[in-house]
């Protein structure tokens, strides 16, 4: 239902945009600044009231966008398959019913032991937000599960509850899980059974936190959920819950890989997520006829937003693989497009991966016999779209993939802070080595004020999907934006004919390994705890498979070095380092190369000269 005095959506959107321009500008802490008189404050409350009325009348345009398809589908359409996992498939209705049930349990409405406690917010923040007419953010709910229907149900349940979803990395050791639990002030963790043991230990050390094991999403196979009355009732209940939400509420916190120290929580709002899924669906032509093959982590924007939330928004079907498997992906494509020519009823149409995945697929192809190779290549050619991102795609890999499958991979560019920002076109020229042009609605510019070359500098960006803040880090948030509101990406770029080319990170301490941006400083801090390491320097070296290979140069203590020399044994091996670091760092943070030196090159200030160190290593391997 829309307000009758507006003849069309455009008029309503324009008024909503006008109302929002009257709102006070955000401060870096995401609350509002009020150096104003009481009369102005009264006027402001009226504006907020008008804005909220407009939002409530607009078919939830700024609310629950990521489950909008479930709210808008008719009963019959809800019977469409949303996700598959293994040999099981689950409809939108089944996942939505499970989400509603989990939401009720978490609210303790059904008499269970479920519990969602409001996080303790500062009194000052609550007062400011109350004066602004802004609700405080909901409690944080951690979610830990492999790609499965239960993960989707848990995400939807969190949002139906007005809570903030916090996906937890499956590879996190206990120490890193504890950091996220404490930093986000997570009150409840929901997880599948296989993660009970590690999470019980973490929850025990987190005062007030609760653990809830997710029930399996149920295949009803024509039972009561398929009854039209039952579905209509479910939609009404879900819609009523969503009425209490606003577009500016936090919906999701994704933790960074720790590029500038400890991982930071990146806060996305309901409206920001809505803008992102709409943007991707329109630019890449996602429709309800698509079927995605998904094999990416769900704590990363690539796997969570591009490959899960956006397809669900479009009403597509997603085949979830627990983890990437070279043989599994090729087999799934061949079963969609068999040699017989009888295409499967609902074949895979879209695939997206990181460069390493395509390297592995090419390697797997080389091990096949001639007949299987032909069947695999023919099947891959029939997909509608193949995309690549999260790190730079080596051109030899792009060329080899295109020669084999006929697909010139669509490269795009994004960050945890705003999702996707740039893309090569769905239809049109896809330039190798370039990440494309801005999505509609996104503004960019290049800051070359500190560059020796005009037109080469840091990429700055504005986006409707921009994150709201780094969780509880107002100064860090402010430092990452220009005075006129552009986000500082930290990537050095150049632009040719409107196409953006990423030249590299501004800092040598940022390493990109297999799609993860890692902080050398954070890793060095952990490695220095090892008794055989007195000094160390972590840096990235070029690698055709992973983008960069993480190398650590260490200097051992004199006593350890003397002991090793006396026994003719190395002071430390890479295998020993990996074993030691397994419970201290995520697997992708462990170095892949270890060098033992007597001393480090230093500058006049006594600081390790990493540029010189990297130059020396590259020269020695050339």
What are the tens digits of pLDDT across the range 526-585? 898 899 998 889 999 988 888 889 999 999 988 899 999 999 999 999 999 999 999 999
pLDDT band at 510 (very low <50, low <70, confident <90, very high): confident
> Phi/psi at 534 (nearest 5 deg)?
-95, -40
Higher pLDDT, 243 or 124: 243
Are 36 and 79 in the same domain?
no
Q: Are strands 410-415 and 443-447 parallel, antiparallel or unpaired?
A: unpaired
Secondary structure letter of residue 458 according to DSSP:
E
Tokens coding 249:
């509420």
Residue 300: burial class (beta carbons within 10 Å; 0-12, 13-18, 19+): buried
- What is the torsional sign of CA 151, 153, 156, 157? negative
Q: Is residue 359 part of a domain?
A: no
Q: Is residue 26 part of a domain?
A: yes
pLDDT above 70: residue 26: no
Q: Are strands 186-191 and 164-167 parallel, antiparallel or unpaired?
A: unpaired
- How many other β-carbons are positioned within 10 Å of the β-carbon of residue 3? 13
Q: What is the pLDDT of residue 79?
A: 83
Angle between helices 574-581 and 520-527 (to 10 degrees): 90
Q: What is the pLDDT of residue 135?
A: 58
- What is the torsional sign of CA 133, 137, 138, 143? positive
Residue 230 parent element (H or E): helix 228-242
- Percentage above 70 pLDDT, the chain: 78
Measured CA to CA, the distance from residue 489 to residue 466 in angstroms comes to 12
The tally of CA atoms less than 13 A away on the side-chain side of residue 416 is 24
Are 153 and 32 in the same domain?
no
CB distance 295 to 324 below 8 Å: yes
Residue 548 parent element (H or E): strand 547-555
- How many other β-carbons are positioned within 10 Å of the β-carbon of residue 472? 18
pLDDT above 70: residue 497: yes
Measured CA to CA, the distance from residue 589 to residue 407 in angstroms comes to 32
Q: What is the pLDDT of residue 1?
A: 23
Residues in the chain: 622
Q: Is residue 526 part of a domain?
A: yes
Are 171 and 207 in the same domain?
yes
When mean pLDDT is compared across 207-216, 308-317, 450-459, the lowest value belongs to 450-459
Are 47 and 181 in the same domain?
no
Measured CA to CA, the distance from residue 58 to residue 8 in angstroms comes to 11
Higher pLDDT, 386 or 36: 386
Cα dist. 526→262, 521, 539, 580 in Å?
Answer: 11, 9, 15, 11
State pTM to two decimals.
0.74
Are 125 and 209 in the same domain?
yes
pLDDT above 70: residue 435: yes
Residue 547: burial class (beta carbons within 10 Å; 0-12, 13-18, 19+): buried
Q: What is the DSSP string of 107-174?
A: TTTTSSS---PPP---HHHHHHHHHTT-PPP--EEEEE-SSSHHHHHHHHHHHHTT-EEEE--TT--H
Top-ranked range on mean pLDDT: pick from 101-110, 154-163, 606-615 = 154-163
**Strand spans (E) along 375-528:** 385-388, 410-415, 419-423, 437-438, 443-447, 457-462, 469-470, 487-496, 499-505, 510-513, 516-519
Are 19 and 96 in the same domain?
no
Which domain, by its residues, includes 532?
510-621
Among candidate residues 262, 283, 304, the one where a domain is terminated: 283
Are 44 and 135 in the same domain?
no
What is the pLDDT averaged over residues 439-467? 92
354 CA to centre of own chain: 13
Angle between helices 228-242 and 149-160 (to 10 degrees): 50
Question: Residue 69: which CATH number?
Answer: 3.40.50.12780
Q: Is residue 394 part of a domain?
A: no
Q: Is residue 206 part of a domain?
A: yes
What is the pLDDT averaged over residues 287-312? 95
pLDDT above 80: residue 129: no
What's the domain count of the chain?
3
Measured CA to CA, the distance from residue 549 to residue 539 in angstroms comes to 8
> HEC profile for 288-343?
CCCEEEECCCCCCHHHHHHHHHHHHHHCCEEEECCCCCHHHHHHHHHHHCCCCCCC
pLDDT above 60: residue 2: no
Question: Residue 537: which CATH number?
Answer: 3.30.300.30
Measured CA to CA, the distance from residue 123 to residue 472 in angstroms comes to 14
Higher pLDDT, 550 or 518: 550
Measured CA to CA, the distance from residue 355 to residue 516 in angstroms comes to 12
Q: Is residue 476 part of a domain?
A: no
Q: Is residue 496 part of a domain?
A: no
Among candidate residues 217, 251, 283, the one where a domain is terminated: 283
416 contact partners, CB below 8 Å, separation of at least 6: 254, 256, 266, 300, 301, 467
Are 51 and 109 in the same domain?
no
Measured CA to CA, the distance from residue 199 to residue 190 in angstroms comes to 9
Among candidate residues 283, 310, 330, the one where a domain is terminated: 283
Across 586-622, b (16+ Cβ under 10 Å) vs e yields bebbbbbebebeeebeeeeeeebbbeebbeebeeeee
Catalogue the long-range contacts made by 561-567 (C-beta closer than 8 Å, 24 or more residues apart).
561/598
pLDDT above 50: residue 164: yes
Are 78 and 222 in the same domain?
yes
109 CA to centre of own chain: 31
Q: What is the pLDDT of residue 226?
A: 52
Q: Is residue 456 part of a domain?
A: no
Are 53 and 64 in the same domain?
no
Are 125 and 6 in the same domain?
no
527 contact partners, CB below 8 Å, separation of at least 6: 533, 536, 538, 552, 554, 577, 581, 591
Are 201 and 264 in the same domain?
yes
């Amino acid at each position: 239902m829309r307000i009758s005095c507006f003849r069309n959506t455009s008029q309503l959107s324009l008024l909503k945009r006008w109302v929002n321009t009257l709102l006070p500008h955000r401060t870096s802490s995401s609350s509002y600044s009020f150096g104003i008189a009481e009369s102005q404050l009264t006027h402001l409350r009226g504006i907020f009231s008008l804005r909220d009325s407009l939002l409530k009348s607009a078919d939830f345009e700024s609310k629950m966008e990521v489950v909008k398809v479930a709210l808008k589908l008719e009963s019959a359409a809800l019977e469409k398959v949303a996700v598959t996992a293994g040999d099981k498939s689950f409809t939108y209705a089944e996942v939505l019913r499970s989400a509603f049930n989990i939401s009720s349990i978490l609210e303790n409405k059904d008499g269970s032991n479920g519990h969602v406690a409001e996080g303790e917010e500062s009194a000052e923040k609550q007062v400011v937000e109350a004066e602004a007419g802004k609700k405080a953010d909901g409690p944080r709910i951690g979610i830990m599960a492999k790609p499965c229907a239960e993960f989707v149900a848990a995400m939807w349940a969190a949002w139906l509850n007005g809570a903030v979803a916090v996906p937890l990395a499956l590879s996190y050791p206990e120490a890193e899980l504890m950091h996220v639990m404490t930093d986000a002030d997570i009150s409840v963790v929901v997880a599948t059974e296989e993660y009970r043991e590690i999470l019980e230990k973490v929850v025990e050390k987190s005062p007030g936190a609760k653990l809830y094991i997710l029930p399996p999403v149920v295949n009803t196979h024509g039972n009561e959920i398929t009854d039209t009355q039952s579905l209509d009732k479910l939609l009404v209940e879900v819609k009523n819950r969503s009425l209490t939400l606003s577009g500016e509420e936090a919906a999701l916190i994704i933790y960074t890989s720790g590029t500038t120290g400890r991982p930071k929580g990146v806060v996305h709002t309901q409206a920001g997520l809505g803008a992102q899924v709409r943007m991707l669906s329109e630019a890449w032509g996602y429709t309800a006829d698509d079927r995605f093959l998904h094999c990416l982590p769900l704590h990363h924007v690539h796997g969570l937003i591009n490959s899960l939330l956006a397809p669900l928004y479009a009403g597509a079907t997603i085949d979830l693989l627990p983890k990437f498997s070279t043989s599994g992906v090729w087999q799934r494509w061949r079963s969609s497009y068999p040699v017989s020519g009888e295409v499967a009823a609902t074949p895979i149409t879209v695939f997206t991966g990181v460069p390493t995945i395509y390297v592995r697929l090419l390697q797997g192809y080389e091990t096949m016999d001639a007949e299987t190779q032909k069947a695999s290549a023919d099947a891959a050619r029939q997909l509608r779209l193949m995309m690549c991102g999260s790190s730079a795609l080596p051109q030899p890999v792009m060329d080899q993939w295109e020669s084999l499958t006929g697909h010139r991979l669509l490269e795009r560019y994004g960050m945890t802070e705003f999702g996707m920002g740039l893309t090569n076109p769905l239809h049109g020229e896809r330039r190798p080595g370039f990440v494309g042009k801005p999505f509609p609605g996104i503004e960019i510019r290049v800051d070359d004020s500190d560059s020796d070359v005009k037109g080469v500098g840091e990429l700055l960006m504005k986006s409707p999907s921009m994150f709201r803040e780094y969780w509880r880090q107002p100064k860090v948030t402010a430092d990452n934006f220009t005075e006129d509101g552009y986000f500082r990406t930290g990537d050095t770029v150049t632009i040719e004919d409107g196409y953006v080319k990423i030249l590299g990170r501004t800092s040598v301490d940022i390493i990109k390994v297999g799609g993860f941006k890692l902080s050398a400083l954070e890793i060095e801090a952990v490695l220095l705890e090892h008794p055989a390491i007195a000094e160390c320097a972590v840096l990235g070296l070029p690698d055709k498979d992973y983008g960069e290979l993480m190398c650590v140069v260490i200097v051992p203590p004199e006593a350890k070095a003397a002991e090793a020399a006396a026994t003719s044994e190395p002071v430390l091996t890479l295998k020993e380092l990996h074993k030691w670091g397994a419970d201290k760092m995520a697997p992708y943070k462990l170095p892949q190369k270890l060098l033992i030196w007597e001393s480090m090159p230093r500058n006049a200030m006594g600081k390790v000269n990493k540029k010189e160190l990297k130059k020396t290593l590259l020269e020695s391997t050339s």
